[in-house]
Structure 1
Amino acid sequence: MSLRWSSAPISRFAKEGAGTISRPIRALRGGVAVALVVGLLPLSVGSAVAEEPSSSSCTGQADQAADAVAQAVACASPVELTSADTAYETVHVNPDGTTTYDMGSEPVRTKVSGAWKPIDRSLVGGAEGIEVASPLAPMTFSDGTTGEPLATITTGGHELSMDVPFDLPAPEVSGSQLTYGDVLPGVDLIVTVDDDTAGFGEVLRVDSPQAAANPALDELEFPLATSDDLDVVSAGGGFEARDSAGEAVFTAPQPQMWDSSADGVIAQANAQAILAAPFGVTDDESAAPVVETPWAADVLGDDVAADRTVAPVEGDRVAQMQTTVTDQDVTIEPDDAMLTDSDTTWPVFIDPKVKAKTPAEWVMIESAWPDTTTYKFSPDQGVGLCDYAVTTACTKTNKQRLIWEFDDLDWLGDLSAADVTKATFKVFGTHSWDCTPRGVTAYVSKNISTGTTWNSNASLWGTGDYVAQQQITVAHKSGCPDSPTRFVSWDITKAAKWAADTNKSSFAIGLKAHTEASMQQGWKRYRKDASISITIERAPYAPTNLKFTDPAGACTTTDSARPVLRGDTPTVSARLNDPDDNDSASQDQLKGHYAIYTVSGSSKVWSYDTTSFHNAQVDIPVKVSAGKLKDGVAYYFDAYATDESGKAGPVSTKCEFYIETSPPSVAPGVTVVSGPYHNSTTPSGAVGTPGTFTFTTGGANDIVSYKYNFDDDAMTKAASPGANVAFTPKEPGKHTLYVESIDRAGWASSKHAEFVFYVRVTGVESEWRMAENTGTTVADAQHPGDSSRALKLTGATWVDGPIGDLDGDGHADSHAIHFDGAAGHYAQTAFEPLATDRSFSVSAMVELDSAGRNATAVSVDGDHASAFQLAHRSGAECVGAPANGCWGFFMNGADAAKPTTTSVTAPDEVVTGQWVQLTGVYDATAKTATLYVCTPGSLTNPVANSAAFTTPWMAFGSLQVGRGLYNDAATDPWPGAIGPVHVYQGILSAGQIHDTCAGAGA
């Protein structure tokens, strides 16, 4: 007889909208990482709330890591970090700063519509058939509708469907079990949802030899369909459906068939027990040895009525069935002997199972059947020696061991052994032979699978990595007052540390009875739902981002690149890091420890420990104490961190440096590389003519750069040693190049250089005709687009000019500006339009309202005095001292507050209210100053007087109309009108002057 599962495309059984696809089981790995990386929180006791926490605030749960930390400290109890929960894992933040990770062999919750809900394996009606209420892996079962597969299971976007080769009636539903009655005569199909809701088992219950003889059972094909991304392969006597990465997504252990022999064994053993009862039993190990009463319950425990439709009961006759997997089907060969043997106890059960791969597995291995396994047994199994000579409840003399494997522990492999502080393995003890405690030892086991057997595993225990963890002496039996059934624990800290140090993402723990080889009394039973608990506290990482912040400096261990820091109290900085801080919410708390050593000899010269705790991933600066460091000595600083438990991390890399405590004491030098400029008051160059400069150290050491600026002592521009800096003047006059040197510590020299040069004025002709007759600006008629040459008026008014009403329209044909003689009323240009140390001419039409004091019509400012003035003078300065004074052309011999003045005056007395044209001419060749005075419209030559002038100088100020400059102050404001003003770089002849004067009256 054979049972055959054929592999077929998923489309054969799939329907539109069928089934909910859950997330991959492997995705739980990410959940574990989040749980641990976010949840491993060194806690700050100093940050605990001083107030007694209210009972309402001590909920024992928090969604955010920071809230979990605060509650754990305040309430002095562990707090579950719910945001880190997964189906199998629960993370608790502890008050002492550690984190405990608990993982069970079975899930404790599942995601339904995005929210965690308790596992519920109840079967309910659904849109596509009969569904599991709240499963880990969604499953749908046939409701008897024609064409639907028996079962469909999904996980992580993968799907597998299994069908049967006969029609299915509507099933009878009871809790988590479906019974399809009489699928063949005398044969029921029973489907049971696994306790973990990650899979299901189906058994054919064959009630009698007559039912077993049905030809329809000779070969049964169970069609098996998968999604396109899965391949079905033989594995461990069963099969696996693997993804493209070779990971098992669905597993089917080696199928079994079993009869109901345990019913007879139990009856026989209990009958024997009744006969033997008068002999009694003893739990006194000091008494003489006796044969224990052979109750079946002493082997089977109290749960002798285990559900045979799920798994065989201890004492049942069991046969393992081998499978052969091809591209098209999976064939199972049952044990024909069991089906035809007259000693077979009916009914017989034939069992294929399918499960989604989960992060935990468990098996029972046994010496009497060394090449077979009981994979994911339910509900419990035995450990120790089951001796047939002692009790017929044991079908053979047999040694049994139990193994649990816990996967998806990638986070553990990322740790070191020192990070693991404690680990335990816990499982529920359902039964022991008697009430006397005897030893059970936990071992590290080789990892398991559906194909794990006694032969492939047991001989490794106690060798190599598979070392004993802890032996405990225990009994757990119903009816024993001091040793009831209960959870018992083993210390597996060594195993967890080993897994961390060897980068394991999974490990297995096995249980072995200490008296396995010789004593039935060592027999015990344990339930499948085991768990591990690992408490972790990782040491901080080495600090990073070492640097200097005040003054700034980069970290280096290269001699030539060591920064030189200004002063002896630099600020050092390091970023404290913790492996458990992957999220700002975790608020890991660390202290920093800093130290400075000499590079030569590594002598410690300074250290500092932060007094408060700081969050991880934060730069913590610390100022070095004064008087600890010296000029010219090479130092380095390093740092390490400690967490709240005092666990210290490794020391950082070194960060080397020097210091300098004082700036360079000498100013840098300035050298002209190109251009006409020199450090002198003598004008040189011109507007638009470039010059290039470079800087020298001035004799200072360790100069690494310069700061400079032209005409700005802020010195904000930088230059490297030997670099050239260029300057093209846009204005004539005084310019200053300010320079300071910067040493390698960033000190600026205590003295700076000032390279002063004067840019010559390039004189051209300018003329202000006063044609506007309105506004506050008079344009230069020769340069109308150049605003810098325009006269800006202050306190001036417009009046008629010297040319009268020639066209008879009742208005003067020229205009002028009028000043009232008050200080601050004047007009000026933006800069000097003349070179006053060279030949020039200046003329102006003027009219004086009052002759009682000196008044200046046109001048050019120096720094302290005017270079020249066309002006009116009164009293003794005029020849003959006329009452109304005289006109004059005055040239000052130096730019000084009270310079020596050369005066050229006209012989005629000034007539107030009358227009005259004044013209001053300086001849640089003849070294003479000449004044021309004429009346507009006159046909006679202008009156001319001259005087020798031998000390011309360049004035760099602006052209002034209506005032002069003397003794560092504006002086001689003009009381009257001023008409057109004309300047010319050169000498105007007497004839040219006559023509302009005569034209004014034409």
Structure 2
Amino acid sequence: MSASEFLDESPPKIAEEAEVAAPTTRWFKRRKPLGALAALLAAAVALPVGVHVTDEEKPQTRQRQDAPLSEAQARRLAEESGKEVEVTAARSANTTTWAKPDGSFRKQVFSAAIRAKVGEVWKPVDTALERVEGGYAAKAVNGRVLFSAGSKPQVASGGERSSRSVTRVALRRDTPGEVWTELVRLNTDGYEMVVSWPGALPEPTIDGPRALYENVRPGVDLVMTAQDGGYSHLLVVKDKQAAADPSLAQLNYRLASPDLAFHLDAESGAVSARDYKGEEIAGSPSPLMWDSSGKVATTDDQPAWMPTDVAKDHPTLGLAGMAGAEGARIKVAKAALADGMLSITPDSSWLNAPETVYPVFIDPSFKGHKRSWTLLYKTEGSSSFYNGQNYNSGGTNEARVGYESTTGGTSRSIFNFDFGSELHGAAIVSASVRALQTYSWSCSQKQMDIYSTPYINSSSTWNNTTGFWNRKIATDMSGYGYNSSCPDKWIAPDIKAIVTEAATSRWGALSLGFAAPNESDSYYWKKFLANGETAPYIEIVYNTPPDIPIAANMQTFPGGPCLTTAPGTSIGKTNVTFQVKGTDRDNNLHGIHVEIWDWETGYLTYHEWLTANSDGVITKEIPESYFTSGRRYGWKSKTYDTDGWESPGAGPMDSGGGGWCTFTVDHTVPPSPTVTSTHFPPPGANHSDWSVNPASTPGQKIDIRGSGVAGTDIREYQWSLNRPAFDQKAIPTSGDLATISLQADIAGPNVLYVRTVNKAGNISTGTEYPFYVRARTGLDSPGDVTGDGRPDILAIDSAGNLRTYAGDSAGDTDAYIPGAVQNGKPVADGYWKDKATGKSALIGHSTNRFPGDGLTDLIARMPDGKFYVYPGTGTGQFDVGRRMEMLLPPGAPNPSIFRQIVVTEDVDGDGFADMFALDADGLWFFSGYTGASFTTVKKISGSWSPRDIVSVRDISGDGVPDLLFRSDSDPNRGLILRRGKPGPNGGADITSLSSAANSADGQDNTYATTYWSRAELPLVLGTPDANGDGIPDIWVTSVNGNQYLFPGARDHMPGTPTGNDGDGWNTFLTIG
């Protein structure tokens, strides 16, 4: 049973568009290297838009157009409606696509254009001529063709005229008495050419797509017919007398183009117009002559040519020979091309032969290269009948297949179907080639074979295509168009296999040849329409599967982007995260399959289908235990959608990546690096070696080496200062040596953290390189003991040793130095606590206590119950050998009862440093410090057992010191701010700090709420501004062993710390 028996006999429906007016902009010329220009003699690149209509033509109203529907939008609408919906965004001149309710798509790919874009609107091809500025042009075609409006007066005798005036155009003279008239101007894909006629031309008579120029020579008419993508050119020689005109001995046409070159094929006489790359833009087949002896075979002998009413007054338009050369006596004219002149030489013996029936027709035609087909005629085996020209005059193209006994001619036909990249990778559900059969020798079903052939052009002939017929892909049994018992009908042989191959191999076009299996039996002879919407087309039902992943969208962490060359990326002893981004034109991507294997053995290491996120990305972490050190691995991925379709291959190889992603695993951990520096020597055994230059000296050098690792195996060194962040990089520049340039702004203890990262990404254990930086010259600022201007922290560890931590704005306290020395050496362990009782010293520092040296000193209530002053050395250390016992004023309590001391700058405005202390329940104030003694002492408040002093400094910003303390009795009010009143001598009125009622606000203010209890934060220390905002800050230790820096605020402190050091701070005895 023939597939065609189930087909609708009507031609395929073409989407209609709203009528629009021709724009009123002038033509423009755009030079662009495309591949199919109209060029030559009659190759009419049909008229696009962009021409001027005359005043006599009324523009049609532009109707509003809906926005084009994308594939995804049409697919959704089809699913919702249960009906096919056109993908209007995918329209082209020769293709139409519909979304089907089941999620697939249906596409028709024609061998000829079925629509043309007029302005921004697709419209059915309309070759009817209309008067425009400069001549006559077709209404809606793909390309531009402008026929001459004539160059000499002629009396109208019927037919359509756009005006009664004569248009004088394009007259030029090469030699005296020689006149050339621009006959046709062609423009396609931005290329332009002009064909000129040797002499003046009359004003034409317009009959649909035809322009008749009568009596261009005595007894000779010229008929120009607009076609989509080109035009036909026909000289009608009415009798032998006209044929005897010497001007017909050689017909000359002048060809000109600013960007095309013209070539003549010596064998066929076909002319082509080629761009700078040599690609054919347009072509003219072999020039053909035929007489009026033929009869076109039609169904039930119906007329092959139906003249219009215009032919009554212009008989040439009604001649039977206008239908073409079928059945007539034919002869190929000779063609020559030289210096831009195309010369056609008719065969004089044929013209004068007694059997030649006049009128005679001479047809040198031309058409653009795109959307083309050709007739191959064995009798004229070296001649080209590109796009059926000559055999099919007047724009009614018919393809022929098989042997025709009346003339003894044998024909084959080849069609080009251009679809670009639209079907690349598509999953083909079904595909058929459909052709409207208009004639067969009888109603008997006879076979026709269909072949996959190379792409044809204007030089294709019977003789040079004999090698095209070696791949038969389908057959069709049919017999339609002979009479009313078997009328015209569409055939549709199945070609799914070749279309699938085209989609998989990413072809841009498909060429199909029609041939009879028996080319000596006339019963196999058939004809098919070959123009417009009745041209052969391929109908394809397909699903657009997701795209094959590309290398650029595949990567690992670590490792980076996919590499396809050995050994690939190098990955160390770590889990490996694989990431792939998939894409799908239908926007229904569901997931991605990842497959990993051992490169040498092929053993499958891992594979899994993974669901993609909304961005089409999957991420999968594979444990390092899956990989063996020293082995190379490959990996690939493919996609699948919600309809169950998989990508037609796996990436990156099948998407053009040149291979599979590959990586090599190396679990070898490099040794820790070696660090040396002359600018920053290590502290030495006695902690007595300091930097060459003081803090903040720029350009200090530190060298890093790989400890035996070759420089070629080192990716980088990672380093950081005073915290193990390793957020800086140093790349070896000479072997394994990398030198970093450092400016250490913190005086006192510093530590450089360095580690090695090898090419595989394995990371060494970090090297800690401690060093001491000398203080800058000048007086210490409050809280600073190292000389860098920043407040520092003193702490007593669980062993009873004093440590000095250099403070910084970020709250990092990774490095410290021994805080107590005697004769330049650290004191023995346990100096700061009683070994028998475990009682620790209470410590505090703020400013200079030994007059004259400008260095911050340490005040300590030692385990023996006495106060001492320990002179600072300016380097963050205190000399225990020079300590002095502090004298207290009369009435002072025994220092042994104190549980906290807070050493401050001048609070009461007398010009001397002060101190606050807490006993079991009372708050004491010591004032007027001079020469290791205080002059006054006063208990200013009681009921302090649940409270701890945090800070006595100006917090609110009014220039008056305030009292900040912790209350352990109210969990919702952890820190309390009591604002001081100005004192008589400046500073604060101490009485205003004694109670809430006496304060500046008459009440205590909540400074921080929860999580400030003694259980959670055992040690709390207020400090001068550390982060540079001008507000005092707070150091704390937590029960979990961390130490934090909380930046202060004027009225309510934020709850987020900026520093975090986990160095077992829950074991420290005190800070101060």
Q: Deviations over 1:804-843 (max 9, x none)?
A: xxxxxxxxxxxxxxxxxxxxxxxxxxxxxx999799xxxx
Please name the residue that 1:813 is paired with. none
Please name the residue that 2:572 is paired with. 564
- Contact kept? 1:121, 1:132, Cα under 8 Å: yes
> Is 1:522 the counterpart of 2:524 in the alignment?
yes
Structure 1 residue 73 displacement after superposition: 4.6
Match of 1:103 among 109, 117, 133: 109
Change (3 A) 1:538 1:865: closer
Query: In percent, how many aligned pairs have the same letter?
Result: 21
Please name the residue that 2:409 is paired with. 398
Give the TM-score of the pair, scaled to structure 1. Answer: 0.59
Change (3 A) 1:438 1:957: same
> Is 1:247 the counterpart of 2:279 in the alignment?
yes
Question: C-alpha separation between the residues in 1 aligned to 2:776 and 2:386?
Answer: 105
Q: Deviations over 1:194-252 (max 9, x none)?
A: 2x2x2222323233334334x35443544424123333332331423333322333422
- Contact kept? 1:893, 1:899, Cα under 8 Å: no
> Is 1:227 the counterpart of 2:244 in the alignment?
no
Question: C-alpha separation between the residues in 2 aligned to 1:426 and 1:527?
Answer: 11
Please name the residue that 2:400 is paired with. 382
Structure 1 residue 442 displacement after superposition: 0.8
Structure 1 residue 169 displacement after superposition: 2.4
Match of 2:751 among 716, 728, 737: 737
Question: C-alpha separation between the residues in 2 aligned to 1:312 and 1:892?
Answer: 117
- Contact kept? 2:250, 2:346, Cα under 8 Å: no
Change (3 A) 1:754 1:152: closer
Q: Partner amino acid for 1:325?
A: L
Question: C-alpha separation between the residues in 1 aligned to 2:437 and 2:473?
Answer: 18
Give runs of aligned pairs for residues 650-661 of structure 1, distance below 5 A: 650=650, 652-657=660-665
Q: Partner amino acid for 1:316?
A: A
Change (3 A) 1:73 1:27: farther
- Contact kept? 2:287, 2:364, Cα under 8 Å: yes
Question: C-alpha separation between the residues in 1 aligned to 2:769 and 2:211?
Answer: 101
Question: C-alpha separation between the residues in 1 aligned to 2:108 and 2:358?
Answer: 43
> Is 1:314 the counterpart of 2:326 in the alignment?
yes
Q: Partner amino acid for 2:369?
A: T
> Is 1:640 the counterpart of 2:637 in the alignment?
yes
- Contact kept? 1:187, 1:205, Cα under 8 Å: yes
Q: Deviations over 1:233-280 (max 9, x none)?
A: 3233142333332233342222222221136xx8xxxxxxxxxxxxxx
> Is 1:262 the counterpart of 2:269 in the alignment?
no
> Is 1:430 the counterpart of 2:438 in the alignment?
yes
> Is 1:477 the counterpart of 2:504 in the alignment?
no
Secondary structure of the residue that 1:541 maps to in structure 2? coil
Please name the residue that 2:125 is paired with. 119
> Is 1:622 the counterpart of 2:620 in the alignment?
yes
Higher strand share: 1
Change (3 A) 1:434 1:659: same
Match of 1:135 among 141, 146, 149: 141
Question: C-alpha separation between the residues in 1 aligned to 2:767 and 2:347?
Answer: 105
Change (3 A) 1:787 1:509: closer
Q: Partner amino acid for 2:620?
A: V
Question: C-alpha separation between the residues in 1 aligned to 2:456 and 2:672?
Answer: 81
Change (3 A) 1:958 1:866: closer
Change (3 A) 1:402 1:740: closer
Question: C-alpha separation between the residues in 1 aligned to 2:460 and 2:133?
Answer: 39
Change (3 A) 1:491 1:646: same
Give the TM-score of the pair, scaled to structure 2. Answer: 0.56
Please name the residue that 1:55 is paired with. none
Change (3 A) 1:95 1:638: farther
Which piece of structure 1 moves more, 227-236 or 962-971?
962-971
Question: C-alpha separation between the residues in 1 aligned to 2:751 and 2:427?
Answer: 64
Structure 1 residue 384 displacement after superposition: 2.2
Change (3 A) 1:902 1:479: closer
Question: C-alpha separation between the residues in 2 aligned to 1:646 and 1:560?
Answer: 27
RMSD, aligned CA:
5.7
Question: C-alpha separation between the residues in 1 aligned to 2:379 and 2:460?
Answer: 14
Please name the residue that 1:963 is paired with. 914
Gaps (5+ residues) in structure 2? 1-24, 38-64, 153-167, 170-181, 308-318, 652-659, 708-712, 792-818, 825-840, 852-856, 870-878, 888-901, 907-911, 934-1072
- Contact kept? 2:849, 2:931, Cα under 8 Å: no
Gaps (5+ residues) in structure 1? 1-16, 30-58, 267-295, 388-393, 767-776, 779-785, 791-833, 840-860, 872-890, 904-923, 933-955, 982-1002
Please name the residue that 2:579 is paired with. 574
Q: Deviations over 1:764-783 (max 9, x none)?
A: 9x9xxxxxxxxxx99xxxxx
Change (3 A) 1:722 1:631: farther
Q: Partner amino acid for 2:210?
A: Q
- Contact kept? 2:300, 2:482, Cα under 8 Å: no
Please name the residue that 2:359 is paired with. 347
Please name the residue that 1:201 is paired with. 232
Please name the residue that 2:974 is paired with. none
Question: C-alpha separation between the residues in 1 aligned to 2:919 and 2:677?
Answer: 32
Larger radius of gyration: 1
Please name the residue that 2:313 is paired with. none
Structure 1 residue 441 displacement after superposition: 0.9
- Contact kept? 1:964, 1:971, Cα under 8 Å: no
- Contact kept? 2:34, 2:275, Cα under 8 Å: no
Q: Deviations over 1:17-56 (max 9, x none)?
A: 9855488794689xxxxxxxxxxxxxxxxxxxxxxxxxxx
Secondary structure of the residue that 1:260 maps to in structure 2? coil
Please name the residue that 1:144 is paired with. 150
Structure 1 residue 430 displacement after superposition: 0.4
Please name the residue that 2:512 is paired with. 509
- Contact kept? 1:426, 1:532, Cα under 8 Å: yes
- Contact kept? 2:590, 2:611, Cα under 8 Å: no
Structure 1 residue 740 displacement after superposition: 8.5
Higher relative CO (CA 8 A, sep ≥ 6), structure 1 or 2?
1
Please name the residue that 1:335 is paired with. 347
Give runs of aligned pairs for residues 20-169 of structure 1, distance below 5 A: 21=29, 26=34, 62-75=68-81, 79-92=85-98, 102-146=108-152, 147-148=168-169, 149-169=182-202
Change (3 A) 1:895 1:28: farther
Please name the residue that 2:1048 is paired with. none
Please name the residue that 2:969 is paired with. none
Structure 1 residue 496 displacement after superposition: 4.5
Structure 1 residue 123 displacement after superposition: 1.3
Please name the residue that 1:13 is paired with. none
Q: Partner amino acid for 2:375?
A: M
Structure 1 residue 511 displacement after superposition: 1.4
Q: Deviations over 1:377-418 (max 9, x none)?
A: 33324322222xxxxxx1x333322222345x6649x968x9
Structure 1 residue 593 displacement after superposition: 2.0
Give runs of aligned pairs for residues 343-742 of structure 1, distance below 5 A: 343-355=355-367, 357-377=368-388, 378=392, 379=396, 380-387=398-405, 394=406, 396-406=407-417, 411=421, 423-457=431-465, 459-460=466-467, 462=469, 466-477=470-481, 479-480=483-484, 483-496=486-499, 506-518=509-521, 520-528=522-530, 529-533=535-539, 540-542=547-549, 544=551, 546-549=554-557, 562-566=570-574, 570=575, 572-577=577-582, 587=587, 589=589, 591-595=591-595, 604=604, 606-611=606-611, 619-624=617-622, 629=626, 636=633, 638-644=635-641, 645-647=645-647, 649-650=649-650, 652-657=660-665, 678=683, 685=690, 688-689=693-694, 709-710=721-722, 735=749, 737=751
Q: Deviations over 1:493-552 (max 9, x none)?
A: 45446667888655532212234323x322222112222345665674356355444x78
Question: C-alpha separation between the residues in 2 aligned to 1:326 and 1:676?
Answer: 89
Question: C-alpha separation between the residues in 1 aligned to 2:70 and 2:634?
Answer: 37
- Contact kept? 1:250, 1:354, Cα under 8 Å: yes
Change (3 A) 1:971 1:679: farther
Structure 1 residue 572 displacement after superposition: 1.7
